[in-house]
């Protein structure tokens, strides 16, 4: 028989069916000619299916969905209901309850107040009713936080395919669906791939997961998207004036108004891509309303240029992030004041909500205030010295070198020591540091502040305050692992005591490492009810 006449499909499963078979197919049933042809068929099919291999293994997807559903159910079961006495500080009281529940662990503990997360969403919907929030998963990818925001109506801004997979697992568990098509439809409507520079494999992953809304800010990125994800819906990212932002971004991301109009629009059209709108980001933790104003005006110009030059009717405006997690004391720029400006400009520049969908990418706005960190003091060391220089620190309380001491050697003579007053400072060693949650001091420019746990200090009473100056160190063997120096309000603290750090949910555990083998914080979820006593 001629090889071309062999019916290789007779009695054989398809390639996809082979993947799903519980038992391997018995190839001994085939003739040599069938085996040779089947071998060629397999080689060709495997090459064609290489990019789509994750989707082919549905059993793995089903296992992942089942595991996600189980984890989802387990998370729901560990939400603690805490009754806070009326006269007590809620976070302080909950911290004590969490430590008792966890049997005072040596690892740091991150409290997550789900009621406060709901309050943030309610405020968003009240003050920015037209703007759909796409939570920036990078800010804090804790599964409970992400899941709760989904239940509250949030969608998601993802920076990588791994963040998309996290969202997919949560959507799958919430939907109770294992059908990839259903999940892909949800991913399409609930995710923006907002990273302007994407790895090719992540573009393929986004495509296979059903994520369609993508951001680009350069001609080369547009060409890459056209190659790997030609059916994407494109947002062109504008650069912003963000000098006053806590974390400026325009030095790295965004194209000028001129380049966007004259280069990027044309490049996208030449590649046959579907440009649907404009995005910008005024910098994380923005404190300049004028930056937001200019960005919205520039976005309007791109909408107009797209219509006049190419006949494109853009329909999506992504105003990015930059919303403060907590209003800064004394600052005229608050979330409410920014919302007022945004609403006014949207009414003026994009008056028809039926024509333009407005979305945003808030991260710290949602994640910051619901979280508080509990750290434990595991060592206390009082150092007496005439030296006057501390090691380089990540955070500082604003104390000059002349006001601080360290325990290093000094070349000062004994006669000079006799003429100078010896000073002392206390080293407090905590179970979290700049390689863990306090990386936020280095990378996010955050100002942190420790509070003694009241129930510990009040039970002990006032202690001797002869050594008022403290330095707070993290646990690693790196001398740079220094959180704060010149701290003068912790004189009552001792080994085994705890410090409470509020507003620690944004860009903390998300970038924490296990350097030296130290554990990152464990999360403790709770809701509160106030009592009358």
477 given a catalytic annotation: yes
Instruction: Please list, residue by residue across 367-394, b when 16 or more beta carbons sit within 10 angstroms of its beta carbon and e when fewer do.
Output: bbbbbbbbbbbeebeebebebbebeebb
Q: Is 356 exposed, middle or buried (0-12, 13-18, 19+ CB in 10 A)?
A: buried
CB 134 within 8 A of CB 502: no
Q: Are 481 and 346 contacting, i.e. CB atoms less than 8 angstroms apart? A: no
Catalytic residue among 139, 368, 440, 477: 477
Alpha carbon distance 168, 371 (integer Å): 24
Q: What are the φ/ψ torsions at residue 86 (nearest 5 degrees)?
A: -55, -35
Rg (CA), the chain: 28
Query: Where would I find the beta strands (DSSP E) of 165-323?
Result: 191-193, 213-216, 233-238, 274-280, 316-318
Element (H, E) at 524: strand 522-530
Segment holding 482, helix H or strand E? strand 482-487
Closest to 305 (Cα-Cα) out of 356, 257, 338: 257
Dig out the tokens for 273 from the structure: 């891509």
The two three-digit tokens of residue 184, written as one number: 């892909």
Active site residues: 477
């Amino acid at each position: 028989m001629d090889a071309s006449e062999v019916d290789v499909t007779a009695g054989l499963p398809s390639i996809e069916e082979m993947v799903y078979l519980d038992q391997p197919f018995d190839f001994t049933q085939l003739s040599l000619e069938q085996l040779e042809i089947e071998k060629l068929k397999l080689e060709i099919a495997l090459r064609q299916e290489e990019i789509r291999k994750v989707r082919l293994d549905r059993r793995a997807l089903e296992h992942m969905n089942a595991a996600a559903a189980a984890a989802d159910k387990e998370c729901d079961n560990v939400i603690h209901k805490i009754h806070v006495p009326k006269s007590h500080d809620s976070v302080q009281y909950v911290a004590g309850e969490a430590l008792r529940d966890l049997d005072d662990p040596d690892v740091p503990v991150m409290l997550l107040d789900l009621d406060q997360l709901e309050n943030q969403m309610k405020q968003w919907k009240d003050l920015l009713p037209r703007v759909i929030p796409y939570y920036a998963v990078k800010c804090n990818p804790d599964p409970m936080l992400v899941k709760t925001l989904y239940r509250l109506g949030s969608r998601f801004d993802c920076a990588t395919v791994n963040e998309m997979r996290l969202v997919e697992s949560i959507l799958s568990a919430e939907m109770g669906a294992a059908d990839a098509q259903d999940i892909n439809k949800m991913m399409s409507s609930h995710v923006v791939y907002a990273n302007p520079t994407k790895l090719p494999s992540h573009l393929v992953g986004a495509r296979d997961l059903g994520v369609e809304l993508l951001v680009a800010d350069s001609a080369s990125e547009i060409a890459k998207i056209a190659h790997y994800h030609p059916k994407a819906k494109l947002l062109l990212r504008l650069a912003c004036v963000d000098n006053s932002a806590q974390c400026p971004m325009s030095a790295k991301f965004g194209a000028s108004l001129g380049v966007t109009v004259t280069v990027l629009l044309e490049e996208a059209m030449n590649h046959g891509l579907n440009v649907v709108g404009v995005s910008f980001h005024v910098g994380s933790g923005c404190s300049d309303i004028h930056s937001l104003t200019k960005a919205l005006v520039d976005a309007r110009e791109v909408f107009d240029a797209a219509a006049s030059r190419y006949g494109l009717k853009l329909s999506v405006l992504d105003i990015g992030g930059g919303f403060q997690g907590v209003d800064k004391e004394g600052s005229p720029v608050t979330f409410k004041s920014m919302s007022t400006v945004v609403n006014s400009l949207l009414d003026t520049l994009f008056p028809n909500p039926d024509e333009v969908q407005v979305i945003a990418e808030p991260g710290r706005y949602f994640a910051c205030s619901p979280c508080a960190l509990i750290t434990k003091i595991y060592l206390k060391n009082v150092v007496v010295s005439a030296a006057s220089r501390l090691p380089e620190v990540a955070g500082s309380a604003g104390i000059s070198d002349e006001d601080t001491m360290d325990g290093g050697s000094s070349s000062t003579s004994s006669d000079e020591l006799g003429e100078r007053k010896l000073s002392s400072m206390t080293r407090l060693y905590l179970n979290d540091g700049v390689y863990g949650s306090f990386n936020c001091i280095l990378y996010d420019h955050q100002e942190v502040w420790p509070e003694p746990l009241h129930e510990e200090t009040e039970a002990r009473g006032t202690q001797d305050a002869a050594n008022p100056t403290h330095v707070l160190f993290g646990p690693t063997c790196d001398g740079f692992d220094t959180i704060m120096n010149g701290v003068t309000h912790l004189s009552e603290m001792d080994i085994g005591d705890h410090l409470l750090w509020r507003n620690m949910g944004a860009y903390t555990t998300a970038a924490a490492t296990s350097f030296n083998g130290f554990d990152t914080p464990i999360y403790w979820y709770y809701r509160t009810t106030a009592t009358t006593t």
